[in-house]
Each structure stands twice: as structure tokens, then as C-alpha cells.
Amino acid sequence: MQEDDLRGLAKIMAFMRAVAVLLVLMNFYWFCYSFFLQQGWALEIIEKILHNFQRTSGLFDNSLYSKLFALVLLALSCFGTKGVKNEKIKWKSVHVYMLSGLVFYLLNFPLIQISPALYMITTSVGFILLMVAGLWMSRLLKNRLMDDPFNNENESFQQESSLMENEYSINLSTKFYFNGKWNDGWINVVNPFRATIVLGSPGSGKSFAVVNNYIKQHIEKGFSMYIYDFKFDDLSTIAYNHLLKHTSQYKVKPKFYVINFDNPRRSHRCNPINPELMTDISDAYESAYTIMLNLNKSWIQKQGDFFVESPIILLAAIIWYLKIYENGKYCTFPHAIELLNKKYADVFTILTAYPELENYLSPFIDAWQGGAQDQLQGQIASAKIPLSRMISPQLYWVMSGDDFTLDINNPDEPKILCVGNNPDRQNIYSAALGLYNSRIVKMINKKGKLKSSIIIDELPTIYFRGLDNLIATARSNKVSVCLGFQDFSQLIRDYGDKEAKVIMNTVGNIFSGQVVGETAKSLSERFGKIVQKRQSLSINRNDTSSSISTQLDSLIPASKISTLSQGTFVGAVADNIDEKIEQKIFHSQIVVDIAKVEHESKNYKPIPQIRSFLSASGEDTMDKDINENYRHIKLEVSTIISTELRRIENDPELAHLIRKDE
């Protein structure tokens, strides 16, 4: 407004306040006339004015009428007051003055008959209190810059409020803040095949609010499923019990399988390098690569180095040898470990007897035949030392059986597979479980299979080789991938910068609870910017002036992401050509019916025991059976060595391979 306009408005407000004061004085004279008459203050001219005014307006029919009219004029005049800042003014003071003023001003009419003087005093006090309260209120309302110190109003935005459901979708009920109130909304993941990342620091609610819903809703929609359960059996129990309730959603009833190295009674057995699943030596290399990088996470960022590739090649050659020896009769991971730990002279003699392995092992053979013992010992030790940590009768038991195959999305034999890790033994178990992962990735990413869901919670605890390729290519094969972890920096540390960035940048759906640092900044940049109002306030001793401007600023700042409450998530979802989502970005609290979840959890059935290990007489034979299997594998490998060496020694074309180490 122009300065002249402001001056004119100020004059109008002052006039209205003066009229309000005049009405109160007229009220005193009219209703307390006897008091003025006794004091000799009655004036004939004032009486004529008041009688004429009363005939035209009726304001003095009741003392309340003129008071209310004066109060309206006072209120209007107060809202035109200059907003001079006073740090001592608080809303509590305004409320006290306002309430006290109303009591003194409006509820004192009985005093007119009892004591006119007291009536005028209380009315005057009430009027002054109301005027002060009005002036303070006006100033507080004008100086509202600090009412929203965290900019919540500007950074709130309209979000998706309609449910969009299809045969693959994940739908999460939410509450979001917009326009000064909480609204009901929905997060609609209509295309889970474009992969999902769930971020959040420990305790942010990522498993409770998001991952658990992925498991439940995909089982309800007939997905086959692979679940990596870092804290076994948290997720596995949910999957098992939900499957019991929704088996009818599948055309072919799925089977529930568990891999659990801690408790063989509650674990199926599965050979991840089943010879029938390997068609080329590259399959053996993939398996060896996964095992060694899970055992040595630092190697992930050193791929291609001589002392990284050497042990991988050696293990791959041993796995492929077991595949081609006697049609893969002994092709299991435990047999590969035992064979690797035999005398290297015997192992190399046997492997070089096979033409398909001779060239593959040339770096080792050259060092062996050239007498470079130090180099050779270093190459072999790089493979032996990490793998020796995996020598365990229980692990040998689980990985040497064939209770099921890893084609979890086979339409004729759908499976729900849960593999359990243990935080106390993750360095050992992760290598074995990573082997299952790599084989599953290769088997499920094929056309004509059942829709499937891959749930990996705490992703950095395991090296999932081929994950970036799975995310990029599996969409057309109806493979949904949901990855849960705490922070981007954690992923970069364990997967390397290049692979981690590919994973982060190729996912279409992202959920993030509380995260900090570079992760929060990266997410804030991903969500983009919007036009926001900015108010600036200038205060001097006489007046307060404010200006409003607009600028482009972050839709969800990093500072907001780093202070999210438990269960509150920010993120973005992808849509489909025929299912457009206008509001893809969200900042909301995911609504979870806690009472319902607790009721379900109390009624969960434990995952049943798979093997009793009881003899016909009722004797517990678990330790005996597992140790017997362990000894049997070691014996079989020793037999393979002796048999192969005799064959080579008796074959004139191969006898030259036998040499004695000096």
C-alpha cells in the first residue's frame, strides 16, 4: 500500500476507536443519569442529543446494545493498528486480558441499580482491557513470521489421496499434512517391477511399515518369493503365516522352504551348484566370484587385480571339475572346499588332466612348473584362507542335499524361499547365502515364469552379484525387487562406488525414513524443487513492515529428511503408461494398524520343524548324522584324489603330469 493510503487507514481506525469511546460515555450518561443528576453534572443539551439518538437507533433500549456496538467498533479499529513488535506479548496474556475484559465489560449490568459509580469504573476497566487485548492480538497476527519457524506450511504439498490398485501393486495407507490439517492418502506402487529401495536408520520403521507390507501383499497376489532374512526368523515367520492364510491365491499351491545354518532341524537342504543348473564354465566362475567376494568384501573394489582374480579362477576350475567328474555326482560346495584344501600338487595334476581346464589354470600352472613357489603359495592361500572359515559340519549338511531346486518362480512348482542369516556369524554365512542369491538371480530372470518377488533386507550384509543387472532387465519378466538398507554410504562401502550408483539410480520406487548426510542431500535433490512463499519482516520503534516474495526451493529439504519421525517416510513412486500418478512424491506417515499387527503376531504359528533326526528307537541322531555327512564328504574327496592320480599315472598320455615336489 502507498504511504498516503496507510495514513488514511490509520485515521479511519482512530475515528472508529473514538466513536467506541463516545458510545461508552453515552451509555454511562443514559443509564447512570441519576448519578450525574446528583453530582450536578447533567446538561440539557446532552439529554436532547441522546433522546433524538435513541429515537432513531434504539441503542439505549438496553445497556448491552450500546456496549456491544461499541465493542464491534473497538474490534475493527484494533485490526488496523500498526504491528509494532513487542517481545513480551504472548498469546497467554492476550487470553487473560480478553477474558477479564469481557467479564468486567459485559457482566456488570446489575451494578447500575446498586452502584452507578462502580458500574462505570468496571465498564471502563473492562473496555481498557479489551482494547489492550485487541491491540496485542492485532500485533501478534501481523507479526506471524515466527508462527511457522520450520517452514512446515510452505513445504507441505498435495499428495496422492486415491487408491490405485492392480494385480501387482503395493498400496500403503498414509496420513499427510497439507493446508493446515492432516489428510488421508495412499502410496501406490503400481509397478513394483521397476524395483524399490527402502532406506532408514535403525528404528526408523522401514521393515515394520514397508518391507512387511511387500511380503504380505505380494503373497496375497500370488507371487513366488525369495526372502533374505538377516535376523532370522523375523521376516520368515510373517511370510509363513501369511502364506497359510492366502494359499488360495495361487493356481498351484506353493511350497515353503527355509535355509537356516544355525538349526538343521528347521532347515531344508539345497545344493546351490547343482550340476544340472550349470551349463557352462562361466556358471562356475559366477559362483566362485560370489563366494570369494562375500568372504572378502574389500575385494569388491579391487576386481581385476591379480591376487583377486587368481583365487576366483582356481575355485571356479574346481567347481567345474566336480561338474564334469562322474556326471557331477560330487558337485557340491562342501566338496569344492575340501578339494581346494588338498595338496596343491595333487589338485593341479588332476585339473590339468582335463583339456577344458588346462588353459583356464595357466597362471597357476606357469608358476608351478616355473618354480615360482612364493607366487603360487600366495595365489593358493588367497583362496584357501577365506574358504577355510566356512568349514562347518552344519553348513556342509545344508549345502550338500537336494530337497528342492532354486527355480522359485517355476509355474508348476512355485516356492516361497526364506534364507536366514545370523548377525553374529554373518561373515561366514553371507558367502554361502550369496551363492544361493547368484544362482537364483540367474534362474528367475527368464520369460514365461510366474511373477516373483525378491525381498532383501539389510542388503549390505551380503554381496548380491548381478543385482544391478537384475534391476535393469527383470522388469519384463515380472520380477519385483525390494532392497532394504540403512544408508547410501553403507551400500557404497560394501558394493563399491560404481555398482552402488547403478543400483541407486536404476530403481523406480524409493522410500526413505530418517537418513542424514549425503544420503539426505541426494534424496532432496531427487525430489526436486517447488515455488515457495518467503516473508521478510522489518521492525522499528514505530511500525512493522513485511514483504512476501517467491523463490524456487527444495520440496523436501535434507534437514527434514534427517529428522523424520519413526514411521514417517519420504519418497517417490513410478507409474505406468495406463496408470498415471499425478502426485508421485510423498512425505507422509504410513498408517499401520498396530493393534491388528499385534493380534496377528500373537497368533502366529512357528515355522514347523523340518527334520526330527530321531531314530526308530526315539534317539536324537542330529549330531551323529551331521558329523557322518561331514566325514563322508571328506572321505569322498580323498577317494577322488587317489582314484584320479592312479588313472593319470596309468595313462601313458597323462603320466608326464605326475611330478614330485622337490
Asked if omega into 234 is within 30° of 0 (cis), the reply is no
Most confident of 72-76, 133-137, 475-479: 475-479
23 vs 365, residue with greater confidence: 23
Long-range contact pairs involving 372-380 (C-beta distance under 8 Å, separation at least 24)? 376/344, 378/307, 379/307, 379/310, 379/311, 379/314, 380/311, 380/314, 380/344
Coil vs helix vs strand at 205 = coil
Query: How many residues are listed for the chain in this entry?
Result: 662
Coil vs helix vs strand at 546 = strand
Tell me the pLDDT tens digit for each residue of 368-408.
666 666 666 776 777 777 778 888 899 999 999 889 988 89
Which whole number is the average pLDDT over 85-105? 76
β partners of residue 417: 226, 257
pLDDT at residue 329 is higher than 70:
yes
Residue 577 falls within a domain, yes or no?
no
- Placement of cell 479511519 in the chain: 12
Closest by alpha carbon to 514, among 212, 206, 211? 206
pLDDT at residue 13 is higher than 70:
yes
β partners of residue 552: 531
Residue 264 falls within a domain, yes or no?
no
pLDDT at residue 551 is higher than 80:
no
**Count of structural domains, the chain:** 2
Give this prediction's pTM.
0.76
Most confident of 80-94, 146-160, 339-353, 589-603: 589-603
Where are any strands of DSSP class E within 162-209? 170-178, 181-189, 196-199
pLDDT at residue 82 is higher than 60:
no
Choosing from 124, 142, 160, the residue where a domain stops is 142
- Please report, for residues 142, 298, 305, 462, 572, the alpha-carbon distance to residue 490 in angstroms, rounded to integers and kept in the order given: 48, 13, 23, 12, 21
Most confident of 78-87, 97-106, 135-144, 396-405: 396-405
Coil vs helix vs strand at 449 = coil
Rg (CA), the chain: 40
Most confident of 3-12, 249-258, 439-448: 249-258
551 vs 542, residue with greater confidence: 551
Tell me the pLDDT tens digit for each residue of 609-636.
988 888 777 788 889 999 999 999 999 9
Coil vs helix vs strand at 237 = helix
Percent of the chain with pLDDT over 70: 83
**Strands 224-229 and 181-189, bridge-based pairing:** unpaired
Helix or strand holding residue 510 (H, E): strand 509-512
Coil vs helix vs strand at 110 = coil
581 vs 494, residue with greater confidence: 581
Residue 629 falls within a domain, yes or no?
no
**Interatomic CA distance for residues 353 and 153, integer angstroms:** 75
For the chain, give the mean pLDDT: 83
Residue 26 falls within a domain, yes or no?
yes
Coil vs helix vs strand at 535 = strand
Choosing from 371, 402, 433, the residue where a domain stops is 402
Most confident of 83-92, 360-369, 537-546: 360-369
What is the per-residue pLDDT for 20?
81
223 vs 301, residue with greater confidence: 223
Residue 365 falls within a domain, yes or no?
yes
Reported as a pLDDT band with limits 50, 70 and 90, residue 543 is: low
What is the per-residue pLDDT for 566?
92
What is the per-residue pLDDT for 97?
83
Helices (H), 223-305: 234-245, 281-295
Which whole number is the average pLDDT over 546-558? 76
Which whole number is the average pLDDT over 569-592? 92
pLDDT at residue 661 is higher than 50:
no
What is the per-residue pLDDT for 49?
66
565 vs 133, residue with greater confidence: 565
**Strands 452-457 and 224-229, bridge-based pairing:** parallel
Choosing from 381, 402, 423, the residue where a domain stops is 402
Residue 18 falls within a domain, yes or no?
yes
**Interatomic CA distance for residues 211 and 216, integer angstroms:** 9
505 vs 654, residue with greater confidence: 505
Residue 641 falls within a domain, yes or no?
no
State which residues form the domain around 100: 3-142
Quote the cell numbers at residue 150: 520450520
pLDDT at residue 253 is higher than 90:
yes
Reported as a pLDDT band with limits 50, 70 and 90, residue 587 is: very high
pLDDT at residue 658 is higher than 50:
yes
Helix or strand holding residue 536 (H, E): strand 529-539
Residue 429 falls within a domain, yes or no?
no
**Interatomic CA distance for residues 566 and 559, integer angstroms:** 16
Closest by alpha carbon to 570, among 524, 637, 607? 524
